[in-house]
Amino acid sequence: MIKIGDYNRLKIARELDFGLFLEDQSGEEVLLPNKYCPNDSEIGNEINVFVYLDKSDRKVATTQIPKITLGKFGYLQVETVTDAGAFLYWGMDKHLYVPGVQQQKPMVEGQWYFVFLLQDETTGKLFGTSKVERYFEHDELTIKVKDKVDLLVYEDAGLGYSVIINDIHKGLVYKNELFKNINIGDRVEGYIKNIREDNKIDVSLQPIGYRESTDPNAKIIIAKLEEYDGFLPMSDKSSPEEIKRIFGISKKAFKKALGALYKEHKIEIKDSSIKLLS
């Protein structure tokens, strides 16, 4: 059965003037309109498409990439607001509808909101809700300590940032353990650090067991390397002025921190560059 609100791997069955008909293994078909058809499409080839309902409530396929899929969370911007509800941009030509009754608070045009994607059981239509807290799973956890997980930064919780874990659970990354800047709505990788007796989850952005340098300047260097994809054309031979401009610290402090990171096998130092080691 072709799934609405998700990706489907389908075979190109036939071609018409207005598009391609794709089919699944059961023979069910869906139209991929011409404007979404790849140039190298051939009968019999398989293609990965997202399926939703068009304005006439018919299944239709697209090669556009949605920012959210069924049963997942997303951080979306409101395009328009009407008496019926709000319409959010989610990477598709047809905006995502969030009815008024599904809004945690009245949405405002241009503002960003966390949304969970749902499907009407009767009509099959997709719609969003900003009442996302009810969709976090707290009782049955699907993760364990040291697991690598996908995170969506949810809110500033004071001591840290609340994050959505694998689109299922809610956890916390402590600010004093951050080695790089993160913002609300960012998607980042993380690791499960601790699961408490009440099932509250502590998360780290670094692998568990990773030794963190006690030198605060080392954290500044690591953060800057992360910002520049792990490489900077600088070294302990760089000028004090350049070091101050980039890192905001003295050359003496910079060289001391570099030495500590080198001994911990976190960086590689060359004559004119430093590289972050994985």
Q: What is the set of domains in the chain, with CATH numbers? A: 6-62 (2.40.50.330), 73-133 (2.40.50.140), 148-204 (2.40.50.140), 216-276 (1.10.10.10)
Q: Which residue would you say has higher pLDDT here, 108 or 249?
A: 108
Name the pTM for this structure.
Answer: 0.74
**Contact present, 89 and 76 (Cβ < 8 Å):** yes
Q: Which of 11-15, 38-42, 105-109, 162-166 has the lowest mean pLDDT?
A: 38-42
Distance between the two ends of the chain, CA-based, in angstroms?
42
pLDDT tens-digit profile of 250-266? 888 899 889 888 888 88
Distance CA 188, CA 182 (A): 9
CA dihedral 5, 192, 218, 248 (to 10 degrees): 40
Distance CA 125, CA 13 (A): 25
pLDDT tens-digit profile of 55-99? 888 999 999 999 999 999 999 999 999 999 999 999 998 999 999
Other beta carbons within 10 angstroms of residue 134's beta carbon come to 7
